[in-house]
Amino acid sequence: MSRRLGLPSVYLAAAVATAVTTAAPLAMTPASGLALRPATSEPTRPYIVTARSRAAARDLVGEVRWRVRRYYTAALPGFATFLTAAELSSLRADPRVRAIEPDREIHPMTERAARPVAGQATGAGTTVYVVDSGIDVAEFGDRAWRAFDATGGTGRDCTGHGTRVAGRVHAIAPRAGIASVRVIGCGGAGTLADVLAGLDWTRRHARGPSVAVLSLDGADSPALATAVQDLVRSGVFVVAAADTGACRVGRGGAAYSAFAPHIAGAAAGFLEHRPTADPAILASRLNCTAAGGAIRQNPLRASNLLMRDGGL
């Protein structure tokens, strides 16, 4: 379960990083924010605002009343901001707003290991976006690179979690490209605002057959669910962490499992031979319903986690 935000150091560090990286006008800074907003003597708290449309989000962000920290232009029509109690009440009553939720800490989830199996599929020609704590790219040669860092850092993996996730993807799909999308800081946690920024960046930059893997908590966030669904609709297959090994497909087309990195590698292998496959079709090829019992009986048998007819 996620721990709720007060004003922990991880959030303050993210806010400082955002302010440092904000130099261009708002219209030119998707997934970033404005450092210059009206000062207030009232206490403020961090929130994620989801608008009813991109036009509504743009109009709301353009109003100088809000201290906008990040503005999402692709995966989510909305923004991250600091609000007083009065401002929160005002926004909740605004017909342009769909939902408001507190920003909070996001933590990596412990993913289960499975033994990779040899096969013909290698993931060649695909890209797996690892939305996590960064990647030690030196471990993967020219197969991995640092693509984006929402925390304002250099993409370095301080905790090793993202590198382990990438390693498990690489074991299943050794020729897939692995793009590091860092959203977890060196303290071992990130913010919901930063995770949304990572998905927003991926939505704007993913090209060709693509997979995104999120071994993170946050499944109870409406904003995160909206961003994931939009990423799936754009053609990116998304697999996220879950508490159980049994794979399930969510209403928006994303897959959820404790074996998320292995399913991401399997998806890359599938897309190697079917690069134009729709994520919903790919999800339907997962053994999500039938595999649950087999995984519980033999959790080390990776073939239980892979696609039917996926070439693995």
pLDDT at 36 over 60: no
- Amino acid in position 177: G
The label of the residue with tokens 């342009």 reads: 96
The pLDDT tens digits for 219-239 are 789 999 999 999 999 999 999
pLDDT at 294 over 70: no
Using pLDDT thresholds of 50, 70 and 90, give the confidence band for residue 7.
very low
DSSP of 116-172, one letter per residue?
----S---TT-EEEEEES---GGGGGGGEEEEEETTSS----SSSHHHHHHHHHHHH
Q: What is the mean pLDDT of the chain?
A: 81
Q: Tell if the pTM clears 0.85, that is, is over it.
A: no
Q: Tell me which fold the domain 127-305 belongs to.
A: Rossmann fold (3.40.50)
pLDDT at 193 over 60: yes
Using pLDDT thresholds of 50, 70 and 90, give the confidence band for residue 309.
very low
Cα 175 from chain centroid (whole Å): 22
Of 25-34, 85-94, 110-119, the one with minimum mean pLDDT is 25-34
Of 156-165, 187-196, 249-258, the one with minimum mean pLDDT is 249-258
pLDDT of residue 112: 66
Sequence-separated (6 or more) residues with CB below 8 Å from residue 44: 67, 82, 83, 84, 87
pLDDT of residue 242: 87
Q: Are 9 and 103 in contact (CB under 8 A)?
A: no
For the domain made up of 9-104, the CATH class stated in words is alpha beta
**What is the spatial distance between Cα 218 and Cα 50, in angstroms, rounded to a whole number?**
16
Counting DSSP H helices and E strands in the chain, the numbers are 9, 13
Of 25-39, 73-87, 293-307, the one with minimum mean pLDDT is 293-307
Q: What is the rounded average pLDDT of the residues 61-69?
A: 90
pLDDT of residue 249: 84
pLDDT at 2 over 50: no
Using pLDDT thresholds of 50, 70 and 90, give the confidence band for residue 156.
very high
Q: What is the rounded average pLDDT of the residues 84-103?
A: 96
**What is the spatial distance between Cα 8 and Cα 56, in angstroms, rounded to a whole number?**
31
Phi-psi region of 169 (alpha: psi -120 to 50; beta: other; left: phi over 0): alpha
The domain limits of the chain are 9-104, 127-305
